[in-house]
């Protein structure tokens, strides 16, 4: 990820935060989406979108967003690891056996990444899906015929 994209994403995030404070949630949502499209690793923008969907009580949209955020962040981590591996192939080859013995590698051969943000999002996703599944069904009053 280039530094320019990170800076642009942070600027978009700051502008979205100002819109949110002013009460324009739809405009803020659009800017947060622009921010994560520019830099998928901008976790603050992902979190603010989740909060706005939670405030709007649109659980289905929040579930879709969380799944998208998890996938984008995992893909970003994987590409960073692969880029590092290409640049440091000799180091990786010399320490691969030790890393496997210590259990530090995924089955794909890439290092395990324990990201607390992804874990929190997965927990939130589980809880949301559970609440949606077990929500009380709204009963509409029957009209006499």
Helix spans in 23-115 (H): 25-38, 43-55, 59-87, 89-101
> What is the domain extent for residue 48?
3-133
Assess if residue 90 is contained within a domain: yes
Q: Does residue 140 have a pLDDT over 60?
A: yes
Q: What is the pLDDT of residues 50-65, one digit of tens each?
A: 999 999 988 899 999 9
Q: Are 43 and 27 in contact (CB under 8 A)?
A: no
Bridge partners of residue 113, in order along the sequence: none
Q: Does 141 map to a domain?
A: no
pLDDT of residue 145: 58
CA dihedral sign of residues 53, 55, 57, 63 = positive
Cα–Cα distance measured from residue 62 to residue 5, given in angstroms and rounded to the nearest whole number: 25
Give the chain's domain count.
1
Residue 46 lies in a domain: yes
Task: pLDDT band for 88, please (50, 70, 90 cuts).
Answer: confident
pLDDT of residue 47: 94
Cα 61 to Cα 132: distance, rounded to the nearest angstrom? 12
CA distance 40 to 46: 9
> How much is the pLDDT for 139?
74
Q: What is the DSSP letter of 139?
A: P
Residue 18 lies in a domain: yes
Question: What's the CATH code of the domain at 13?
Answer: 1.25.40.10
Residue 143 lies in a domain: no
pLDDT in tens, 11-61: 999 999 999 999 999 999 999 999 999 989 899 999 999 999 999 988 899
- What DSSP character marks residue 119? H
1 has pLDDT over 60: no
The residue with greater pLDDT, 111 or 48, is 48
């Amino acid at each position: 990820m280039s530094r320019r994209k990170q800076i642009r994403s942070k600027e978009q995030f700051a502008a979205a935060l100002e819109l949110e404070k002013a009460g324009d949630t739809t405009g803020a949502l659009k800017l947060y989406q622009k921010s994560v499209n520019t830099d998928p690793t901008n976790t603050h923008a992902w979190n603010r979108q989740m909060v706005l969907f939670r405030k709007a009580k649109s659980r289905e949209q929040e579930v879709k967003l969380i799944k998208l955020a998890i996938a984008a962040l995992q893909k970003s981590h994987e590409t960073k690891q692969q880029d590092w591996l290409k640049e440091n192939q000799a180091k990786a080859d010399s320490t691969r056996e030790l890393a496997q013995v210590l259990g530090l590698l995924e089955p794909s051969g890439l290092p395990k990444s324990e990201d607390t943000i992804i874990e929190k999002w997965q927990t939130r996703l589980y809880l949301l899906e559970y609440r949606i599944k077990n929500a009380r069904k709204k009963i509409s009053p029957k009209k006499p015929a």
